[in-house]
Amino acid sequence: MAKLKIVKHGDETLRKVCRPVEKITPRIITLLDDMIETMHAADGVGLAAPQVGVLRRIAVVEVEEGELYELINPRIVAYAGEQQEQEGCLSIPGRWGITKRPKHVTVRAYNRHGEEYEVSGSDLLARAFCHEIDHLDGKLFIDCMIEELSE
């Protein structure tokens, strides 16, 4: 495994729409492992492939230690409620804001074994899923920020 360089705001990679993963190869597995290591090293709760310079529809999320979600070709299939909470991003260090997101989401994705699964989350987990999936579509949390917070 390797710690990857996190792309920072201003890099055009963060504004591009990612391509779907057609086949889960050893290279995709290595990318997942490296993204997990990078996320942990940066004390993040999520990381999307474009944040490490890879334009593929892959993200990892771990809000609670030991509850790691590897999301390949993820999509939100259901959402409910609303929350307005603080959000930040590893690609925009030192900047925080209040965003408006669904309170509950259900995500459908594939795991590293090519198995499709669904996971539902609320509160921070829902925010993390939305945040990372937004990255795959070239969107940043500052695009849905309703109030900027001081550092």
List pLDDT tens digits, range 108-141: 999 999 999 999 999 999 999 999 999 999 999 9
**DSSP-assigned beta bridge partners for residue 102:** none
**Distance (Å, rounded) from C-alpha 107 to C-alpha 120?**
6
Contact 61, 79 (CB under 8 A): no
Mean pLDDT, to the nearest integer, of 9-15? 96
100-110 pLDDT tens trace: 999 999 999 99
Contact 121, 83 (CB under 8 A): no
In the chain, what are the domains?
12-149 (3.90.45.10)
Residue 8's nearest CA partner among 56, 57, 42 is 42
Please tell me the pTM assigned to this model: 0.95
Contact 145, 138 (CB under 8 A): no
Question: Catalytic residue among 62, 70, 87, 132, which?
Answer: 132
Residue type, 49: A
Contact 16, 50 (CB under 8 A): yes
Q: Reduced to 3 states, what is the DSSP secondary structure of residue 103?
A: coil
The answer to whether residue 132 is catalytic is yes
pLDDT band of 29, cuts 50, 70, 90 = very high
Task: Supply the pLDDT for residue 60.
Answer: 98
- Residue 74 has φ and ψ, to the nearest 5°, of -75, 150
55-99 pLDDT tens trace: 999 999 999 999 999 999 999 999 999 999 999 999 999 999 999
The two three-digit tokens of residue 140, written as one number: 């940043």
Task: Supply the pLDDT for residue 1.
Answer: 73
128 alpha carbon, distance to own chain's centre: 6
Residue type, 104: H
Sheet holding 92-101, edge to edge: 83-89, 92-101, 145-149
Task: Supply the pLDDT for residue 65.
Answer: 92
